[in-house]
Structure 1
Amino acid sequence: MSKDVIIVIPARYASTRFQGKPLAPLVGATGKSKSLIERSWITAMQVPSVAAVYIATDDARIAEAARGFGAEVLMTSDACVNGTERVADSLKDLSQLPDIVVNLQGDAPLTPHWFLTALIDEMRADVSVQMATPVLRCDGQTLSNFREDRRNDQVGGTTAVFDKTRDALYFSKEVIPYTDSDYADEAETPVFHHVGAYAYRPATLAEYVNWGEGPLEKLEGLEQLRFLERGVKVRCVEVDARGHVFWELNNPIDVERIEAVLQQRGEE
Structure 2
Amino acid sequence: MAVLLVIPARHASSRFPGKPLVPLRGAGGEARSLIRRSWEAAQAVSGIDRVVVATEDERIRDHCRAFGAEVVMTTTAPRNGTERCAETLDRLGGRWEFVVNLQGDAPLTPPWFVEALLAALRRDAGEAAMATPVLRMEGAMLSAFREDRRAGRVGGTTAVFDAKGRALYFSKEVIPFTARPFAEGEATPVWHHVGVYAYRPAALEAYRRRDPGPLEEQEGLEQLRFLEMGETVLCVPVEARGRPFWEVNNPEDVPRLEAMLGALGQP
Do Structure 1 and Structure 2 share a fold, with TM-score over 0.5?
yes
For 2:15, the equivalent position in structure 1 comes to 17
Alignment of 1:34-73 (within 5 A): 34-73=32-71
Aligned residues, how many?
A: 266
CA contact under 8 A between 1:145 and 1:156: conserved in structure 2? Answer: no
Aligned partner (choices 26, 29, 38) of residue 27 of structure 2? 29
Q: What's the CA shift for 1:35? A: 0.3
Aligned 1:1-268 pairs, distance under 5 A: 3-128=1-126, 129-268=128-267
Contact 1:208 1:227 survives alignment (8 Å): yes
Cα distance per residue 1:121-142 (max 9 Å; x no partner): 1112222222000000000000
CA displacement, residues 138-191 of structure 1 (integer Å, 9 cap, x when unaligned):
000000000000001111410000001100000000000000011001000000
| Aligned residue type for 1:15 | S
CA deviation map 1:49-99 (0-9, x unaligned): 211011000000001111111111111110110000000011122131311
Q: Give the TM-score normalised by structure 2.
A: 0.98
Whether the 8 Å contact between 1:131 and 1:235 is mirrored in structure 2 is yes
Q: Distance in 1 between matches of 2:155 and 2:224?
A: 18
Task: Give the residue type in structure 1 aligned to 2:194.
Answer: V
Runs of 4+ in 1 over 6 A off after TM superposition: none
Change (3 A) 1:95 1:205: closer
In angstroms, what is the RMSD of aligned CA positions? 0.8
Moved more, 95-104 or 249-258: 95-104
State whether residues 18 and 250 of structure 1, in contact with CA within 8 Å, keep that contact through their aligned partners in structure 2.
Answer: yes
Q: Distance in 1 between matches of 2:151 and 2:180?
A: 20
Unaligned runs of 5+ in 1: none
User: Which amino acid in 2 is paired with 1:87?
Assistant: C
Distance (whole Å) between structure 1 residues aligned to residue 228 and residue 123 of structure 2: 25
Instruction: Specify the SS of the correspondent of 2:125.
Output: coil
Structure 2 regions of 5+ residues with no counterpart?
none
Rounded to whole Å, the distance in 1 between the matches of 2:50 and 2:196 is 16
Sequence identity percentage: 58
